[in-house]
Amino acid sequence: EPPAKDHPFRKLPNVIMTPHIAGLANTGLKRIGKFVTDELKRYLNGESLKGEVKSEQLKILA
């Protein structure tokens, strides 16, 4: 790391390369955990989900 200057990923128009500092921090992990538990509660209560992903979106998501 980082990938070589001639690495094929560097030429792809749909790739954004970032350093590790773009990763999650501890507070980010806590927020994700809360989001997941809140979504689960919504699902179990028959409510609509805030983070729902439609099947047609799957082909364009990373």
Domain ranges of the chain: 25-62
Alpha helices in 1-62 (DSSP H): 26-44
Two structure tokens written together for 59: 């082909």
* Number of residues that this document lists for the chain: 62
Q: Check whether 62 has a pLDDT greater than 70.
A: no
Residue 39: other Cβ atoms inside 10 A: 15
Give residue-wise pLDDT tens across range 18-39.
776 656 677 888 888 999 999 9
Task: For residue 56, give every residue at least 6 positions away whose Cβ sits within 8 Å of its Cβ, in sequence order, or none.
Answer: none
Is the pTM higher than 0.75? The answer reads no
